[in-house]
């Protein structure tokens, strides 16, 4: 290090204290090995008798369970329980049709009631009789969940069932 122009003995000692040594004239000071080391050898995959490589197999993740939901929005915030029950019946019919078309059944029904101030009440219930896609089971469960919300005097903006 001391052989470089403008480097005194104190300055030459500092880089060597950190491990930078001048070992070979082709390599600059501070580099002990070549900048691009050789890559490790990689063997190609085996070939078939025709000389072609077999196709790569990629793992397929397991399919996710399907979920479905439907929503009914009211044009204005409503206080009418008859209109809400009609919307819940419509949700039950739509959800039942979707489940039957997919040849599926549901174990749990979730109801989300959106109120006038954008707050939400969510209730969920597991069907006691087991998985079902029957509209009557869904309808009765949605009615029970709505009754559990306790929103007799609240202004309701939307109901979502799934």
pLDDT in tens, 110-133: 999 999 988 999 999 999 889 999
pLDDT of residue 77: 92
pLDDT of residue 38: 57
pLDDT of residue 161: 95
CB atoms within 10 A of CB 144: 13
CB atoms within 10 A of CB 139: 21
List, for the chain, all residue ranges whose pLDDT scores fall below the cut of 70.
1-5, 13, 15-51, 53-55, 64-65
Name the phi and psi angles at 120, rounded to 5.
-130, 145
The model's pTM is 0.60
Identify the DSSP state of 133: -
pLDDT of residue 35: 47
Closest CA to 162 of 123, 130, 128: 123
Helix (H) or strand (E) holding 149, with range, is helix 135-149
End-to-end CA, the chain: 75
pLDDT of residue 10: 74
β 70-78/156-161 pair status = antiparallel
pLDDT of residue 24: 52
pLDDT of residue 45: 62
Contacts of 130 (CB under 8 A, 6+ apart): 107
CB atoms within 10 A of CB 63: 6
Identify the DSSP state of 45: P
């Amino acid at each position: 290090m001391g052989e470089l122009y403008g480097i005194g003995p104190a300055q030459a000692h500092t880089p060597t204290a950190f491990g930078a040594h001048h070992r070979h004239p082709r390599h600059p000071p501070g580099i002990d090995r070549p900048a691009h080391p050789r890559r490790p050898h990689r063997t190609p995959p085996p070939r078939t008798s025709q000389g072609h490589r077999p196709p790569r197999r990629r793992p397929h993740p397991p399919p996710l369970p399907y979920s479905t939901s439907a929503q009914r929005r009211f044009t204005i915030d409503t206080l009418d329980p008859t209109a809400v029950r009609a919307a819940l019946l419509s949700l039950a019919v739509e959800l039942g049709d979707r489940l039957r078309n997919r040849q599926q059944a549901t174990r749990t029904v979730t109801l989300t009631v959106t109120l006038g101030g954008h707050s939400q009440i969510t209730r969920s219930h597991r069907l006691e009789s087991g998985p079902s896609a029957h509209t009557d089971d869904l309808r009765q469960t949605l009615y029970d969940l709505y009754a559990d919300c306790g929103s007799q005097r609240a202004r309701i903006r939307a109901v979502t069932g799934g």
